[in-house]
Every structure is written in structure tokens, then in C-alpha cells.
Chain A
Amino acid sequence: MKKYTYTEKKDTRSGFGAGLSELGKSNPKVVALCADLTGSLKMDAFQKDYPDRFFQIGIAEANMMGIAAGLTIGGKIPFTGTFANFSTGRVYDQIRQSIAYSGKNVKICASHAGLTLGEDGATHQILEDLGLMKMLPHMVVINPCDYNQTKAATIAIAKYVGPVYLRFGRPAVPNFTPADQNFEIGKAVLLNEGSDVTIVATGHLVWKAIEAGEKLAEKGISAEIINIHTIKPLDENAILKSVSKTKCVVTAEEHQMNGGLGDSVAQLLVRRLPCPQEYVAVNDSFGESGTPDELMTKYGLDTVNIVAAVEAVLKRK
């Protein structure tokens, strides 16, 4: 079993900011738009260094999505930035018509996703965004796990032509992905090989899956751990290959059980390789105020929950 370590914890939103700054330097077509959350999205460096290519839209997210769609007409590659809640649910129809249906090359970059936004509470803690976005035809949906992977994903999506939803978050989390790791859209990262169970995790739950793998090993359970940073298109081959070996799966995500990564995996397996599955996800509930750690514990998104889900799924094999 591969042992993962990290030297520091960093927030994924800062990975986005760093990636955007690199794009500012390397790709003159890249422009950025923000709806009054420049500091929160870590877009300040881009704003300072490339003022002509930065658009402060104000608190008007619908207008931001429309302007982003328009900027593609003229060859620009717009990156919009605001909280995940205001990047999806608030502007769903604008994204649907002006971006997705119109096939516009807009990168919708969304921070503060999920419970780990913390104290602001449920109004801001969107847990439905992955489902909303993956239902849109041809929308690419990406949820990287740490700073380095978010930075690499930000740079990678500029090369892809078409609408992308890139989701990241607020808290500092272990930064363990090698800085030079290539980010390939739609390609899962196999973190650990195992034989008893497949754990498929995304975003902040990836590190917790690694921790769960260590605890399971102590109990003599061999877990194969897959980091699914791209929820759509899903790396079906990676999942099928693993599950054909382990015969059961646990999915883990900071999202509603309805419509998230777990449902994408279930949809694949029910068609191709039916087998027991357990979800680690929020079960039809809004969040609330609290620290990120407290919330992840209360809503069942912690390392212990992954361990328990594995033990439950093994009994169903």
C-alpha cells in the first residue's frame, strides 16, 4: 500500500488563483470575471497583473454568465469566479441557455462548495451543484482534491474547448498531489491498489479516503482507492476495472447523495457490473453553521464514515 504524506495544508481555491495567474501569463485569450468575491476566489493576482482582462461584474451573477458567453464570441476564454452556490443554482438558466446549449467556451469556477464553507451556514453551502451541472448536456464537471490538483485542473481546462464546471473549496486541506502531476480531464487517478473494496472519492473526501484506507489496512482490509477528479465525463474504464476485481464499491463526496458522484457510479455499475454500493454523502439535508470539521463529522462525511461504509458494503458482497 502506498503511503501518502504532505508537507502543508493549503486551500484548493488558492490552487485556482495560482493556476489562473499562470494562464494570465501564458494565454492572452484567457479573461476572468468575478462577482464581488475577488479576494475569496483568490483572483486578486490576476486582477492586478492583467487589469484589462479582468472584469469586475458586481453582485450580478446572471449578468456575469451572459457576459462570459458573449466574450467567447471574439475568441476569449472566460473564467467566471464566485461561490459555488451563486455559480450554479442562482444562474442555472443562464448557464443552460447562454453557455451550455449555446456551446460556449466558458469555464465556471466555483469556490466555497459544500459543507466546508463552514460558519456562513446552509444558505451558502451548496450540496447540489455537481448534480445540477452534470445534468446539462456536454458540461464537463471537475472537483479536484487539493491545491496542486486544482492548479493543474485550472490550467488544463483552458486547453479544452467547451463549457466546464470547476468546483473547489475554502478550507486548507492536505496538499499531497505531486506538483508536476499531469491533469487529464476524464482520467481517474489510482491512488492505491487493493483487492477487497473500491473506494471512489472526489474533492475534499479524497484525503479522507486515503486515511480510511490506512485504518482499513490495520483491520486487514485491502482498499483500492480512486480519485475521481472529473465527475463528467466519468472514467468508466477505471471504475469497471477496479470493481470487477473488488466486487463492491464505496463512493465518497461532499454533496447530496442525490445526483452526485455516487449516482454517476451507480448508474454505470447498474448497467455494466451490478454490485453492492454504499454512499458517503449528505442524505437529503441542508447544512448549518459550524466549523468545517464539526460539519463533516455531524453530516457523516468523515474518515470514520468511509470506514463504516466499507465494513457495511463488505457484508453485502
Chain B
Amino acid sequence: MAQTEDLKKLCAQVRRDIVRMVHAVSSGHPGGSLGCVEYLVALYGSIMKYDPRNFTMDGKNEDLFFLSNGHISPVFYSVLAHNGFFPVEELRTFRKLNSRLQGHPTTHENLPGVRIASGSLGQGMSVAIGAALAKKLNKDASIVYSLHGDGELQEGQIWEAAMYAAGNKVDNLISTVDYNGRQIDGDVDKVLPLGNLRAKFEAFGWTVIDNPKGNDLEAVTSSLQEAKTLSGKGKPVMILMHTEMGAGVDFMMGTHKWHGSAPNDEQLKKALDQLPVTLGDY
């Protein structure tokens, strides 16, 4: 178990990785990636049990994570690399030809840590449910985690999955919504309002945890720990994690504009000035 101070350093380094990765190829999705740094660092740093050096697709007796909003691949790749799934230097290859680090995550290139392709939205919760059902059949008491964008909840398949998970007591599933309120075309409430998400998931039969501080490492860790204690009680668990798109880089916050745009040289410098080197750049 890593110490909180170490994980905070990792958060800072992951943020540097994210902006450098997308800058290097002038493409990718920095906004949502920056907003989910604390969640993924906490999940891989102190919540899940797994063996990064001996990655297997089945992940028997390991906790599993599924990234449903695959466009935030930069944060996923950086956290996987820093947790030992593959060399950190490989982040250099992100979105380049012949890379295992495709624009959106895929199993196709055999990158350790990735168990499903994602990018076309709305599919990850169903996959996580399937993996959770397989764990139950295998008498494997581990937990399956999934992460979803809030805009992604506009996809109908999410609600098919939400209905199934509650109706069939898939209680070894802990899903999280990255509730940053923004999507490519603007504010989620303007594009297609989600309404009362807590009430919706509760009505579907989920246990719902609200976390208003999704960019506070301690708060995120505590929500995930609470979710673990609530698992195994007949209901799937949902964390509504309020985050800031672009968190940690001042000019990327408060707007949807950095959802899918990369910084130029000047903007990169401005961003890196706000993000201290803590573990060394790749």
C-alpha cells in the first residue's frame, strides 16, 4: 500500500505525463484525463489488488478495472505504467504508428492492463457486469470496477446495464461516474441534461455514494473504501464523483474546450509550469 504523500506525488507526475503525451502528438483528450487522476491513482495505488508483472486476461483472484470512457486513455496509460504494467518510457509512443498505446485503449496490441477495447461509448458497464458474473461463477470474491463519463450516460446501453446489474444483484461491481458536467459540445446540462443522477441510479436499485471532491485524493480514496464496504450486500454500487475537467491546469478548467484538444508548445509550457516534476519525466 502506497502512502498518501507518494500517491499525491504520483498524481502530479501523471498530470505532467498527460499534457506531455497529448502535446507530443497534437491529439488526445487532456480535460477528462486530468479530472480523473485522483480516481485512477487511488484505485491502482491503494484500493485494488492485482499483479501488474504477471498480467493475465482472466485476472483470477484479482480486482479488475474497466475504462468505459476510453478517450481518457492518457490518464489510464500513465497510471498503468507507473504501477508496473509496462515501462513508463512507452508513454512516448502514445497515438503513434505501431504503438501499443492506441488513441483509445485496446486489447488488440496486447498492452498489459487493458482487458477490453473502449472508445465507442456506453459499452463498459455491460462488460464489467459480465466479468463480475464470471467472478461469481468462479467463486472469486474480487471486485470489478468501472469508470464512465457523465456525458456517456446519454448512451442507452448504460441504462440497460444499470437495470440488469441491480435486477440480478451484481454486488461485486463498483461503478463510478466522472461527473464533471462537460462534454465535447458544451455543458452536459445544455447538450442533454442528466437530471437527478442519484435518484435515477437509486430508482434503478443501486447503492449510490456522492463524492463532491473528486479531485481530492483522500476524499476519493475514502469513497472507494466506503464503496468496498457496501459491496457484497445485494446491490451494485455507484460513486458519483464530482470532478473538474482539466483539473490541475488553470486554463484548462472551467471550460469544455480541452475535452479533446491538445496544447501547443506555449500552452504546454504554461501547463507544466503549474505541475511540478515529482517522479521524473519519461
B129 within 8 A of A: yes
A124 within 8 A of B: no
8 Å CB contact of B120 from A31, A70, A93? A93
B161 engages A66 (CB within 8 Å): yes
Stretch at the interface among B32-40, B56-64, B83-91, B234-242: B56-64
B140 within 8 A of A: yes
Q: A-B pairs with the 4 shortest C-beta distances?
A: A70-B130, A66-B126, A74-B134, A63-B160
B117 engages A67 (CB within 8 Å): no
Chain A hits for B3, CB < 8 A: none
Among B128, B129, B134, chain A packs the most CB atoms within 10 A around the CB of B134
Given known A-B contacts A66-B127, A74-B138, A60 and B57 have beta carbons under 8 A apart: no
A101 engages B127 (CB within 8 Å): no
Which B residues are within 8 Å of any A CB, using their own CB?
A: 57-60, 64, 66, 106-108, 115-120, 122-135, 137-138, 140, 156-157, 160-161, 163-164, 167-168
A73 engages B57 (CB within 8 Å): yes
Chain B hits for A53, CB < 8 A: 137
Chain B hits for A31, CB < 8 A: 137
Please measure, in the bound complex, the distance between the C-alpha atom of A291 and the C-alpha atom of B161, giving whole angstroms: 37
Q: List 9 additional A-B contacts (Cβ < 8 Å) besides A58-B163, A65-B126, A67-B129.
A: A66-B124, A68-B130, A70-B116, A71-B130, A73-B58, A73-B131, A75-B58, A94-B123, A101-B106
**Binary contact readout A52-82 vs B (1 if CB under 8 angstroms, 0 otherwise):** 1101011010111111111111111010000
How many A-B contacts if CB must be within 8 Å? Answer: 119
8 Å CB contact of A67 from B60, B64, B127, B156? B127
* Shortest Cβ distance from residue A171 to the other chain B in the assembled complex, whole angstroms: 31
Please measure, in the bound complex, the distance between the C-alpha atom of A161 and the C-alpha atom of B129, giving whole angstroms: 22
A103 within 8 A of B: yes
Please measure, in the bound complex, the distance between the C-alpha atom of A64 and the C-alpha atom of B106, giving whole angstroms: 20
A62 engages B126 (CB within 8 Å): yes
A70 engages B132 (CB within 8 Å): yes
- Scan residues 22-69 of chain A and give those whose CB is less than 8 A from a CB of chain B: 31, 52-53, 55, 57-58, 60, 62-69
* Shortest Cβ distance from residue B9 to the other chain A in the assembled complex, whole angstroms: 32
Interface residues on A, range: 20 to 34
Given known A-B contacts A62-B156, A62-B160, A73-B57, A101 and B108 have beta carbons under 8 A apart: yes
Closest to A68 in B: B130
8 Å CB contact of A102 from B117, B122, B156, B161? B117
Chain A hits for B116, CB < 8 A: 69-70, 73, 98, 102, 104
* Shortest Cβ distance from residue A195 to the other chain B in the assembled complex, whole angstroms: 46
A97 within 8 A of B: yes
Closest to A28 in B: B137
B126 engages A98 (CB within 8 Å): yes
A71 engages B131 (CB within 8 Å): yes
A74 engages B126 (CB within 8 Å): no
8 Å CB contact of A63 from B60, B117, B140, B161? B161
8 Å CB contact of A73 from B115, B120, B161? B115
Chain B hits for A68, CB < 8 A: 130
B164 engages A58 (CB within 8 Å): yes
B164 engages A67 (CB within 8 Å): yes
B58 engages A97 (CB within 8 Å): no
8 Å CB contact of A97 from B57, B123, B128, B129? B123
Chain B hits for A101, CB < 8 A: 106-108, 117
A57 engages B164 (CB within 8 Å): yes
Please measure, in the bound complex, the distance between the C-alpha atom of A274 and the C-alpha atom of B210, giving whole angstroms: 66
8 Å CB contact of A103 from B108, B135, B140? B108
A97 engages B119 (CB within 8 Å): yes
A and B contact pairs by CB, cutoff 8 A, 16 listed? A55-B168, A60-B160, A62-B157, A63-B157, A65-B126, A66-B130, A67-B164, A68-B130, A71-B133, A71-B134, A72-B134, A73-B130, A74-B60, A94-B126, A98-B117, A98-B126
* Shortest Cβ distance from residue A172 to the other chain B in the assembled complex, whole angstroms: 34
Among B59, B124, B127, B137, chain A packs the most CB atoms within 10 A around the CB of B127
Please measure, in the bound complex, the distance between the C-alpha atom of A68 and the C-alpha atom of B123, giving whole angstroms: 12
Chain B hits for A63, CB < 8 A: 126, 129, 157, 160-161, 164
8 Å CB contact of B117 from A70, A72, A97? A97
B128 engages A74 (CB within 8 Å): no
Please measure, in the bound complex, the distance between the C-alpha atom of A189 and the C-alpha atom of B156, giving whole angstroms: 43
B133 engages A55 (CB within 8 Å): yes
Please measure, in the bound complex, the distance between the C-alpha atom of A55 and the C-alpha atom of B137, giving whole angstroms: 12
8 Å CB contact of B107 from A67, A78, A96, A103? A103
Chain A hits for B168, CB < 8 A: 55
Chain B hits for A103, CB < 8 A: 107-108
* Shortest Cβ distance from residue B270 to the other chain A in the assembled complex, whole angstroms: 36
Please measure, in the bound complex, the distance between the C-alpha atom of A7 and the C-alpha atom of B62, giving whole angstroms: 53
